[in-house]
Amino acid sequence: MGLNSNRVEDFFTHSANTTVTSLKVSTEIPMPPPEEAVEVHNVCLPPKKTTFQKLKHRLSDIFFPDDPLHGFKNQTWCKKLVLGLQSLFPICQWGLHYNLKLFRSDIISGLTIASLAIPQGISYAKLANLPPIVGLYSSFVPPLIYSVLGSSRHLAVGPVSIASLVMGTMLSGSVSSTDDPILYLQLAFTATFFAGVFQASLGLLRLGFLIDFLSNATLVGFMAGAAVIVALQQLKGLLGIVHFTGKMQFVPVMTSVFDHKDEWSWQTIVMGFGFLLFLLTTRQISIKKPKLFWVSAAAPLTSVILSTILVFCIKSKAHGISYIGRLPKGLNPPSLNMLYFNGQYLALTIKTGLITGILSLTEGIAVGRTFASLQNYQVDGNKEMMAIGLMNMAGSCTSCYVTTGSFSRSAVNYNAGAQTAVSNIVLAAAVLVTLLFLMPLFYYTPNVILAAIIITAVIGLIDYRAAYKLWKVDKLDFLACICSFFGVLFISVPLGLAIAVGVSIFKILLHVTRPNTVVLGNIPRTQIYQSLNRYKEASRVPSFLILAIESPIYFANSTYLHERMLRWVREEEGRINESHESTLKCIIIDMTAVSAIDTSGIDMLCELRKILEKRSLQLVLVNPVGSVMEKMHKSKILESFGMSSMYLTVAEAVGDIAASWKPQP
């Protein structure tokens, strides 16, 4: 079918005589009359740079997006030294302005989180199959180190449930904590050391973007699945079961619960569920009335005190209630000599350290940034990685296991009015007093209370609202969340996490290998071109097919894009034949969103041009970005395309090409 030249000319004559109306200002800007030539702007190459300059710029963008040396510019050597110390040790920055008023707030918040951290430390250590005293050790040394190196004012440091669960699960699969407790301790301390090395290395090498593969959707599902498993594991303590499975999957745990019904203790059940109800009630009070945060903060320690007194009073009659027993007094003993750097379990400790390090680092940075945003200050991610890493490395040498910033304790710290990291020093001081003088008081503390405290703490990790939001916004994110949840619940904690990460990576690959392409149309009375599907008022331009690619063009997607472009052409020709419109003559590809291209992408464009030329179709490229234009120039593709096939805007391309089709007078 021949070209309907009158219709094309009428369209462009109408477009040239129309006015552009701003959405913000009602002033009409007249367009140039049709007899004037369309002004076409050249697509220029970027400024010439050496390979070294390009590499330097690229590496700077990757590893130093925040420009950490910005504050050192134009400073004296003395000032640079001070800034360097403040950068390495944030305490040197805020410590210069510290005063008594700030200390009053910090001491209140420090004592408040200590009332929560002490029972939680004991509980989480048992979750990791470690002696309860290790949980208290881990609440003493790490907070002191973080207060010097950390950049968050509100992060409260100590053991956390997820890292404890993962460590306990991974190590218990190979070594029994009851049959060989010394070896188990060695592996736990060594895994903590490797976790710290990994975390500090990420901060030192500025590789924090690696932990971004743990997407929010992955973490929502992982946390919920781990919370359910942790809660179910505590049925051992709540029911008073002596012989219980060491596995961490839903089916074995529930099977073990009902296979040992003869071991259930009614005294333990009554006490456990009674205090669990008390803890959950105080938690709900604090959620509904945030000013009463201290109610849930003090509830765990209150439960420990009351239950210990109760067991002491009825110890002769309550034989079914097990209790902690003797805990050693004194400061953290050194454990450097216990680090395990050779033997058959070395690979296990490295793997455990890597996974617990990633999880604890992700949680710590996320919590720190959350509370920093509420107070309008910035937390340096790389400093946090180094602080948490060095904290765990030092902790592994002082009988501590993996620690990080806890959300529950940090929330209490924030609500209690913490102003600086001194609240962590106050916490450590309170734990120090406990270690030196109060350990005998925990002798009759029932294990069922520790189970109730753990259940109350992990319930907050089940965020069903976030899961529903994922379903509404992004189905692939929801799939990652569900895979993570059921993977942890029915397979294992590490494999569940691996499955979720795999789904997240698959999502990335899907976006890279199958990028979005859209057909553009002209919005009437403007020179704006937008998606025909998105903007119903947009209309097709006769004889033109205008496409937009919304991603870089790489080897991974070049074949797909080649096939998709030809399909768009085929579908457009079919539509034109059915509606008897003007013959298709020109294909315009808007490359505004193509941020990068490689040799495969360049070859794809060349091949596409050749195929279209054989079909008497012109291929035009619009607005390639600087790096893309430079690569196309160096590959000599511009010689085959010609600069007449490059335009700065779609409007200029349409106007100039259409004008060339008009019959000359």
Whose CA is closest to 575, among 584, 564, 588, 566? 584
Ranges 2-11, 206-215, 244-253, 617-626: which has the least confidence: 2-11
Residue 26 domain-assigned (yes or no): no
User: pLDDT of 567-601, one tens digit each?
Assistant: 999 999 999 999 888 899 999 999 999 999 999 99
**In which band, very low, low, confident or very high, does the pLDDT at 66 lie, cut at 50, 70 and 90?**
low
Contact criterion met (CB below 8 Å) for 361 and 199: yes
User: So what's the pLDDT on residue 64?
Assistant: 65
How far, rounded to the nearest angstrom, does the alpha carbon of residue 480 sit from its chain's CA centroid? 13
User: So what's the pLDDT on residue 212?
Assistant: 67
Which one is predicted more confidently, 222 or 566?
566
**In which band, very low, low, confident or very high, does the pLDDT at 247 lie, cut at 50, 70 and 90?**
confident
CA gap 359, 171 in Å, rounded: 16
Which amino acid appears at position 166 of this protein? V
Residue 139 domain-assigned (yes or no): yes
**In which band, very low, low, confident or very high, does the pLDDT at 645 lie, cut at 50, 70 and 90?**
confident
Which one is predicted more confidently, 264 or 319?
264
Which one is predicted more confidently, 63 or 450?
450
Measured in degrees and rounded to the nearest 5, phi and psi for residue 587 equal: -110, 120
User: So what's the pLDDT on residue 259?
Assistant: 87
CA gap 264, 636 in Å, rounded: 80
Contact criterion met (CB below 8 Å) for 303 and 425: no
User: pLDDT of 102-133, one tens digit each?
Assistant: 899 899 999 989 988 899 999 899 889 999 99
Range from 58-62, 452-456, 512-516, 584-588 that averages highest in pLDDT: 584-588
Which one is predicted more confidently, 561 or 10?
561
Instruction: State yes or no: pLDDT of 651 exceeds 50.
Output: yes
For 530, the enclosing helix (H) or strand (E) is strand 529-531
CA gap 83, 532 in Å, rounded: 54
Residue 13 domain-assigned (yes or no): no
Tell me the helices (H) and strands (E) count for the chain, helix number first.
27, 10
**Angle separating helix axes 216-233 and 493-513, nearest 10 degrees:** 170
**In which band, very low, low, confident or very high, does the pLDDT at 318 lie, cut at 50, 70 and 90?**
low
Ranges 45-49, 222-226, 300-304, 396-400: which has the least confidence: 45-49
Residue 250 CB neighbour total at 10 angstroms: 17
Whose CA is closest to 157, among 133, 138, 130, 173? 138
User: So what's the pLDDT on residue 531?
Assistant: 92
Contact criterion met (CB below 8 Å) for 208 and 384: no
Residue 148 domain-assigned (yes or no): yes
Angle (nearest 5°) at CA 458 between 373 and 192: 80
User: So what's the pLDDT on residue 38?
Assistant: 61
Ranges 48-52, 145-149, 431-435: which has the least confidence: 48-52
State which of 506, 540, 569 marks the end of a domain: 506
User: So what's the pLDDT on residue 37?
Assistant: 56
State which of 486, 506, 526 marks the end of a domain: 506
User: pLDDT of 29-60, one tens digit each?
Assistant: 334 444 455 677 777 777 777 777 777 766 67
**In which band, very low, low, confident or very high, does the pLDDT at 349 lie, cut at 50, 70 and 90?**
very high
Contact criterion met (CB below 8 Å) for 236 and 258: no
**In which band, very low, low, confident or very high, does the pLDDT at 8 lie, cut at 50, 70 and 90?**
very low
Instruction: State yes or no: pLDDT of 18 exceeds 50.
Output: no
Instruction: State yes or no: pLDDT of 15 exceeds 50.
Output: no
Q: Please report where in the chains the tokens 């219980």 appear, as a residue.
A: 244
Instruction: State yes or no: pLDDT of 157 exceeds 50.
Output: yes
Residue 233: partners with Cβ closer than 8 Å, 6 or more residues away:
127, 248, 253
Does residue 413 sit in the same domain as residue 461? yes
User: So what's the pLDDT on residue 591?
Assistant: 93
State which of 506, 532, 556 marks the end of a domain: 506
- CATH number assigned to the domain comprising residue 652: 3.30.750.24
**In which band, very low, low, confident or very high, does the pLDDT at 397 lie, cut at 50, 70 and 90?**
very high
Does residue 448 sit in the same domain as residue 347? yes
CA gap 21, 620 in Å, rounded: 28
DSSP category for residue 436: I
Range of the domain at 187: 93-323+334-506
User: So what's the pLDDT on residue 627?
Assistant: 87
User: So what's the pLDDT on residue 543?
Assistant: 93
Does residue 478 sit in the same domain as residue 526? no
Q: How far is CA 406 from CA 162, 283, 413, 493, in A?
A: 10, 16, 10, 20
Instruction: State yes or no: pLDDT of 374 exceeds 70.
Output: yes
Residue 607 CB neighbour total at 10 angstroms: 12
Ranges 55-59, 173-177, 256-260, 282-286: which has the least confidence: 55-59
> If you average pLDDT over residues 615-625, what whole number do you get?
92
Does residue 494 sit in the same domain as residue 555? no
**In which band, very low, low, confident or very high, does the pLDDT at 280 lie, cut at 50, 70 and 90?**
very high
Give the helix, strand, coil percentages of the chain, each rounded to 5. Answer: 65, 5, 30
Residue 379 domain-assigned (yes or no): yes
Q: How far is CA 605 from CA 208, 612, 619, in A?
A: 36, 10, 9
User: So what's the pLDDT on residue 480?
Assistant: 85
Structure tokens at 407: 């959300």
User: So what's the pLDDT on residue 348?
Assistant: 94
Q: How many domains does the chain have?
A: 2
Does residue 498 sit in the same domain as residue 546? no
Does residue 475 sit in the same domain as residue 570? no
How far, rounded to the nearest angstrom, does the alpha carbon of residue 183 sit from its chain's CA centroid? 34
Which one is predicted more confidently, 529 or 207?
529
Instruction: State yes or no: pLDDT of 274 exceeds 60.
Output: yes
**In which band, very low, low, confident or very high, does the pLDDT at 78 lie, cut at 50, 70 and 90?**
confident
Residue 186 domain-assigned (yes or no): yes
Strand partners, 546: 520, 588
User: pLDDT of 533-561, one tens digit each?
Assistant: 889 999 999 999 999 999 999 899 999 99
Q: How many CA atoms lie within 13 A of 257 on its CB side?
A: 16
> At 426, is the secondary structure helix, strand, or coil?
helix
CA gap 184, 186 in Å, rounded: 5
Does residue 484 sit in the same domain as residue 565? no
Q: State how beta strands 529-531 and 517-522 pair.
A: antiparallel
Contact criterion met (CB below 8 Å) for 449 and 132: no
CA gap 191, 172 in Å, rounded: 13
Whose CA is closest to 420, among 160, 159, 139, 104? 104
Q: What is the mean pLDDT of the chain?
A: 85
Structure tokens at 16: 């040239």
Does residue 228 sit in the same domain as residue 355? yes
CA gap 70, 194 in Å, rounded: 32
Structure tokens at 232: 């179910």
Residue 532 domain-assigned (yes or no): yes
CA gap 633, 643 in Å, rounded: 10
Does residue 124 sit in the same domain as residue 258? yes
Does residue 294 sit in the same domain as residue 274? yes
Determine whether 251 is exposed, middle or buried from the number of CB atoms within 10 Å of its CB (0-12, 13-18, 19+). exposed
Instruction: State yes or no: pLDDT of 10 exceeds 50.
Output: no
Does residue 363 sit in the same domain as residue 440? yes
Sign of CA dihedral 466, 468, 469, 473: positive
Does residue 605 sit in the same domain as residue 650? yes
User: So what's the pLDDT on residue 381?
Assistant: 81
Strand partners, 549: 517
Angle (nearest 5°) at CA 428 between 426 and 434: 105
User: So what's the pLDDT on residue 63?
Assistant: 65
Which one is predicted more confidently, 427 or 500?
427
Residue 601 domain-assigned (yes or no): yes
For 21, the enclosing helix (H) or strand (E) is strand 19-21
